[in-house]
Amino acid sequence: MMEDWHINLMKNRPRICIFCGESLHDKNNEHIIPQWLIELTGDPNRKIVLGSFTSQRLLEPGADLFRSFSFNSFQFPSCTQCNTEFAALEGLAQSRISKLVRAEPLSADDFRVILDWFDKVRIGLWLGYHYFLDHNFWGISPKFHIRDRIGVADRALSISRSTNYEPGVRFAGVNTPAFAHVPSCFTLTINEWFIINVSYHFIVSKAAGLPYPQSIELGGNEELLVDLHEGSGELSVPILPLEYERSGTTIGQSILPEQLISDDDADNEANGEVEVINDFTPTESSILIESRNRIAKYPRYPSNQWVPDASYDFCEMQYRNSFETLGMQNQLIQRVPVSESVPSEQKAYLETEFANCVDANTNMLEWLSETNRKDSGTLDVA
C-alpha cells in the first residue's frame, strides 16, 4: 500500500517552470508538442490518449488509467520570459522539421537545430509526463530542466521511414519507469517518420574520435565518474554502441561535458572538490551520419543523404520501434553501473530501482513479443 507521506508528496508538488525549474514568475504555458507540428500532421483539434498513469488509481480511486487530451490542452507551466526565449528555437525548428517531414534536403546546421529541439522535447515530455501529469509518482527530484539539457551531452537520431502510414504525431517510451529515472531515449513519430532520440554523455564520443570512457560509473550525487581514454581522432562505426535495427539513418553529435569527475577524485568530490579534466579540443564533434554501415561528417550544404534507402509497413514499424525504444532504454540504464564508492544503502537502493526499471521494460517486451507471434504477417522478432 502506498504510504500517506508519498501520496501527500505527489499532491503537494511545487509549481515550477518546465524550462528553468524555478517558482513560476508571470505564469505562462508551454506546449511541448507545438501547435505548428500538430497542424502539420492533421486536425489541430484532435485528441490524444496517454497512459498508463500509475498515480491515477491512487489519487483518484476508480479513475481510468488512461487520460484523453486535446493537443491544445497538453501544456505545462512556464515563466513567460522562458517561454518567449525558447520560442526562438521553435521558430528555427519549425522550418527544418517541416523539411524533414517532406523528405527535403537538410544541412549539418539544420540537424544541429533539430537535435537541440529534440533535447527540448525529450526533457519537456519527461517533466510533463512524470512530474506533472503522473503527479511525480516515482518521487523524482529533477536536477535539470529544459534549459539545462540543450546541447550539453552526446545526442543522436535514428531515422526510419514507413509506408501506408497514418498521419499524426505520436511519442513512445515516455511512460516507462526507465524513462522516469533516465530520460535518455524516446521515439517521436511524425507522419511516416519514426525518429528515436538518444542522449547520454559519451554515447557518441568514441565514434566521433573524441575522448571516451574506459570506465564509467554513477556516483552518489548522480554524477558520472569516468576514466577517459584518448580519442582516436578518426571516425568509426557505429555512432551509437547500442543494439537496434540499422536499416535507417543515424545522425549524431558528441558534446564533451565541461566538467568531469575522475574515479580517483570521487572522495574529493564528496568534499565539494571537482577536478576539471576536460581540456580537450574540440569539445564537440561535427554532425555525423551513419548509413549502410558507413560513417561520415554530414555535409554543410543541404543534402538528401539523411533520407533512408528503405521504408517499411507502418504497422511493422510500430512493432519494431516499440522493441527498439524499450530495448535501448534498458541498454542505457545498464551501461553505467553504480560505483562502489557510493554508500552501501544508497547503492543497494539505486541498483534495485534500476533493476525494476529494466524488469518493467523486459516484461513489456515479452508481452509485445507474444502479441506479435499471435499476429501473423507482421514483424517477426527472434
Confidence grade of residue 173 (pLDDT, cut at 50, 70, 90): very high
Same domain, 136 and 159: no
Beta-carbon neighbour count of residue 1 at 10 Å? 4
What's the number of domains the chain is made of?
A: 2
Q: Do 68 and 91 fall within a single domain?
A: yes
Q: What is the largest CA-CA distance in the chain?
A: 59
Tell me, yes or no, whether 103 and 210 share the same domain.
no
**231 with 377, same domain?**
yes
Q: Specify whether 139 is located in the same domain as 213.
A: no
What burial letters (b/e) apply to 130-152, b meaning 16+ CB within 10 Å? bbbbbbbbbeeebeebbbebbee
Whether residues 251 and 157 fall in one domain? yes
Q: Are 325 and 187 in contact (CB under 8 A)?
A: yes
In this structure, the dihedral spanned by the alpha carbons of residues 270, 148, 179 and 245, taken in order and rounded to 10 degrees, is: -110
Q: What is the pLDDT of residues 216-255, one digit of tens each?
A: 999 988 888 988 888 999 999 999 999 999 999 999 999 9
Q: Which pLDDT value is given to residue 223?
A: 85
pLDDT at residue 345 is higher than 60: yes
Domain final position from 94, 122, 146 = 146
Q: By residue range, what is the domain housing residue 371? A: 153-382
Other Cβ atoms less than 10 A from the Cβ of 254: the count is 28
The full length of the chain comes to 382
- Predicted pLDDT at 362: 95
Select from 97, 113, 146 the last residue of a domain. 146
Q: Which residue has the cell 515516455?
A: 174
Domain-ending residue, one of 97, 119, 146: 146
Residues 109 and 4 in one domain: yes
Q: Which residues pair with 294 in a beta bridge?
A: 291
Q: Please name the residues in contact with 91: beta carbons below 8 A apart, sequence gap of 6 or more.
A: none
2 pLDDT higher than 50: no
Cell of 221: 550525487
Which of 12-26, 196-210, 277-291, 325-339 has the weakest average pLDDT?
Answer: 277-291
DSSP secondary structure of 191-217: TTEEEEEEE-TTTTTTTTTS-EEEEEE
Domain identity same for 21 and 113: yes
Q: Do residue 123 and residue 194 come from a single domain? A: no
Put simply, whether the predicted model's pTM sits higher than 0.75 gets the answer: yes
- At residue 23, the pLDDT reads 86
Same domain, yes or no: 56 and 81: yes
pLDDT, one tens digit per residue, over 101-157 is: 999 999 999 999 999 999 999 999 999 888 888 777 777 777 889 999 999 999 999
| Confidence band for 371, pLDDT divided at 50, 70 and 90 | confident
What is the reported pLDDT for 205?
Answer: 95
What value does the mean pLDDT take over residues 54-60?
Answer: 51
Which of the four pLDDT bands, split at 50, 70 and 90, describes residue 372?
A: low
Query: Does residue 247 contact residue 274 with C-beta atoms inside 8 Å?
Result: no
Whether residues 104 and 47 fall in one domain: yes
Same domain, 183 and 239: yes
The per-residue pLDDT for range 256-278, each reduced to its tens digit, is 886 554 444 444 433 333 333 34
